[in-house]
Amino acid sequence: VEQKEGMWDGVRNHTAAINLRTMKVGDEAFFYHSNIGLEIVGIMTISEEHFIDPTDEKARFVAVKVKPVRKIANPVTLKAIKANPKLAEMELIRQSRLSVAPVRPVEWKEILKMAGDGRCDASPYYARYPNMKRIGRTSKPTMRGYWGTAQSLSTGPGQTR
């Protein structure tokens, strides 16, 4: 959060990269710790649309820039998501190895409800894609532990925080 903006880079799965390419400025994404805690802990917004990932030596994959929006009231664990029948079709569960996946509006609201977050309102993303939001996952905590990405959140090439 102190950095104000980070880069969602290091995504090397083609399906996840397609999801990054579809993101527009103002879209929102959950931040999910995929190794530490296995939980959704915050919300971020896309601040710059896709560009060539500076960590990709072959320049085949993309990155986006993100800004933290807020922590969610209470982290929502993968175990709780799996136990909720309203989230049974969620891509996070169906394609668990996918680092960037869509989240439907009903799923977005349910997760915020589970988090005890009263701010379940629609975001600018709904105007363009009424059926989807995005979820980001990370293999390590970054930006002071609660904002991150599929591989890292950095302030520039090789400067992971």
Give tens-digit pLDDT for 87-97: 998 888 888 77
- State yes or no: pLDDT of 106 exceeds 90: no
How many CB atoms are closer than 10 A to CB 3? 16
Q: Report the predicted TM-score, pTM, of the whole model to 2 decimal places.
A: 0.74
Digit-coded pLDDT (tens) for 6-36: 898 888 989 888 888 988 888 888 888 777 7
pLDDT of residue 41: 85
Of 86, 75, 85, which Cα lies nearest the Cα of 112? Answer: 75
| Backbone φ and ψ of 123, nearest 5° | -110, 175
Overall average pLDDT of the 134-160 stretch: 36
pLDDT of residue 31: 84
- State yes or no: pLDDT of 63 exceeds 90: yes
DSSP, collapsed to helix, strand or coil, labels residue 129 as coil
Rg of the chain over CA atoms, in angstroms? 14
pLDDT of residue 32: 82
AA identity, residue 114: M
Digit-coded pLDDT (tens) for 130-145: 444 555 554 333 222 2
